Amino acid sequence: MRTLALLLSLTLAHALSAGNYQEAMRQNISQLYKVNQVEEINAIAANFKRIAAAENDQWLPQYYAAYAYTRSCHFISDADAIDQQLDKAQAELDVLFKSHKTESELHVLQAFIYSLRITNPSRGYKYSSLSNTSLSKAEQLNPKNPRIYYCKGSNVFHTPKMFGGGKAKAKPLFEKASKLFHSENDSTSLKPHWGKAHNRAMLYKCLDSE
Amino acid sequence: MILKQLSLILTFLLLLGATKAQRTITGSVKAKDQSPLVGVNITIKGTYDGSITDANGDFEVLLNQNNSTLVISYIGYINQEVELASEQTELHIILKESITSLNAVTITAGTFSAGDKKRASTLESMDIYTTAGSLGDINGALKTLPGTQPASDDGRLLVRGGEAAETQVYVDGLLAAKPYYSKVPDLPTRGRFSPSLFSGTVFSTGGYSAEYGQALSSILILESDDIAVEELTSLSLMSIGAEASKTWCAPNRSTSAGVSYTNMAPYFSMANTRMDWIKPVEATNLNFMHRQKYDNGAMFKCFSTYDYGVQKFNTSIDDQITTIDTKGGTGYVNLTYSTPIFNNSYLKAGMASTIDNVKQEAGVHLTKDREINIESRVAISQPLSNAIELKYGISDAFTAFNQDYTNTNVLNQHNITTDDHIVGVFIEPEIKLSADMAFRAGLRYEHSTYLQESSLSPRLSFAYKTGKNSQITAAWGHFFQNPINEYTKYTSNIDFEKASHYLMGYQTGNLKKRLFRIEGYYKDYDQLIAYDNFINYQYGNLSNNGEGYAKGIDIFYRDKETFKNTDFWLSYSYIDTKREYKDYTQSVTPNYVSEHTFSAVGKYYLGAINTQVGATWVLASGRPYHQAGDSNFMSRKAPYYNDLSFNLSYLTHIGDHFTIIHFSFSNVLGRDHLVGYRNVPSADGSGDYYQMPIQPDIKQFLFLGVFISINGK
Q: What was the pLDDT predicted at A159?
A: 84
Cβ count within 10 A of residue B159: 28
CA atoms within 13 A on the CB side of B447: 5
Amino acid at B191: G
pTM (2 d.p.): 0.85
Cα separations in angstroms, B248 against A126, A143, B228, B252: 22, 19, 8, 11
> What distance in Å separates the CA atoms of residue B213 and residue A1, rounded to the nearest whole number?
86
**Nearest-neighbour CA in chain A from B48: distance (Å):** 5
Scanning every residue of chain B, which has its alpha carbon at the shortest distance from the alpha carbon of A117? Answer: B512
pLDDT in tens, B651-683: 888 887 888 898 989 899 999 899 998 888 776
* B 656-675 near A (Cβ less than 8 A): 656-658
pLDDT at residue A12 tops 90: no
Beta strand B641-654 with B636-637 is: unpaired
Mutate to test the interface with B, among A127, A163, A169, A173 (most CBs of B within 10 A): A163
pLDDT at residue A40 tops 90: yes
Structure-derived torsion over alpha carbons of residues B578, B581, B587, B593, reported in degrees to the nearest 10? -30
A10, A19, A122 ranked by CB distance to B565: nearest: A122
Scanning every residue of chain A, which has its alpha carbon at the shortest distance from the alpha carbon of B8? Answer: A4
Cβ count within 10 A of residue B153: 20
Are the beta carbons of A49 and B652 separated by less than 8 Å? no
The list of chain B residues with pLDDT below 50 reads 17-19, 712-713
Are the beta carbons of A11 and B16 separated by less than 8 Å? yes
Mean pLDDT of chain B: 88
Nearest to B449 by CA among B478, B420, B469: B420
Are the beta carbons of B46 and A18 separated by less than 8 Å? yes
pLDDT at residue A8 tops 80: no
Q: What was the pLDDT predicted at B709?
A: 84
Q: What was the pLDDT predicted at B6?
A: 63
Beta strand B299-317 with B276-293 is: antiparallel
Best-predicted range by mean pLDDT (A110-114, A161-165, B663-667): A110-114
Are the beta carbons of B713 and A128 separated by less than 8 Å? yes
Q: What was the pLDDT predicted at B140?
A: 83
Q: At what angle do helices A104-116 and A79-100 cross, to 10 degrees?
A: 160
Q: Work out the average pLDDT over A159-187.
A: 86
Q: What was the pLDDT predicted at A14?
A: 40
B564 vs A19, which has greater pLDDT? B564
Q: Work out the average pLDDT over A167-173.
A: 92
Q: What was the pLDDT predicted at B684?
A: 67
* B 637-656 near A (Cβ less than 8 A): 651-653, 656
Q: Does B46 touch chain A (CB under 8 A)?
A: yes
